[in-house]
Structure 1
């Protein structure tokens, strides 16, 4: 969601935000307003203030639960790395962890739940024949399947039920 929740943000700097507008001339009221506005832009030494209760209300419990391990780890590393670098490393570690879990899940699926003769569902992975042109070794291409029963086998010939007749 956008930071303004779909409402166009209002420019609080007013007409004098642009240098060109200020050069055209400012009234005393505009000068006083701009001076106060510039003074308001300076943050105090303790800002931004981290209010724990605010973040607990803002972030849902499930998200806090799965973020907790990396938060604890990088809270301990922050004094050594610095706040900015620790935050960057935390994001990178989280993303790489999610990528690794995704790769392992895909590997597991194709290793144990692929499409073979015992199942009706699952993704079937097939290989197309390689392109072999005249003059290249292996031309004309001979299939590794020796007889018609080898086609659409889906791994049945490798099972213990296959008698090979």
Structure 2
């Protein structure tokens, strides 16, 4: 049943378009030349086209105008590559190029955010990046190095001492 109570056939009882020739026994009884031609055409009609088929009217129906606008650049690349690579390879290039651009945009966005939105003494929000002090092991120059911070005001300064204010 389809939503809303309507039937799949629109209220008409379904029927087979294959006729009586769908059964092998009926065909073995004997077929007229007209039935033989009809059966041949019916079998030919059952063959499916192999490979993707692009129907422009269907593309317009399935893709709204906004989607068509943002897909246009990569569709143009795919259209330009199709004669040289074939449709399947050109579409694969188009698909992975889009995914790579999205990933690159994400990486650049994160890098920008971490660079310009750090948590320092001027703001409350942002990511606080804390680096560990360098390791000092026996045998290193200045071995018993305790801390780089000399005064208690150096702790939790969050860049205040380096500011130009």
What TM-score does the superposition give when structure 2 sets the normalisation length? 0.63
2:82 to 78, 83, 86: 78
2:146 to 142, 145, 159: 142
DSSP 3-state at the match of 1:156: coil
Distance 1:143 1:65 in 2: 58
Change (3 A) 1:87 1:44: closer
Instruction: Provide the aligned C-alpha RMSD in A.
Output: 3.4
The higher radius of gyration belongs to: 2
Runs of 4+ that moved beyond 3 A: 36-41, 128-133, 135-141
Q: How does 1:41-80 map to 2 (within 5 A)?
A: 42-44=47-49, 48-80=52-84
Paired residues, number: 130
DSSP 3-state at the match of 1:157: coil
Quick check: 1:123 aligned with 2:122? no
1:108 to 102, 105, 112: 112
Distance 1:136 1:103 in 2: 40
Where structure 2 has 5 or more consecutive residues not aligned to the other structure, the ranges are 1-22, 29-39
Change (3 A) 1:41 1:148: farther
Quick check: 1:159 aligned with 2:160? no
Q: Deviations over 1:111-151 (max 9, x none)?
A: 11111111111111112456666x57475553222221111
Change (3 A) 1:76 1:51: same
What TM-score does the superposition give when structure 1 sets the normalisation length? 0.63
2:102 aligned partner: 98
Q: Deviations over 1:73-126 (max 9, x none)?
A: 221111112111111111111111111111111111111111111111111111
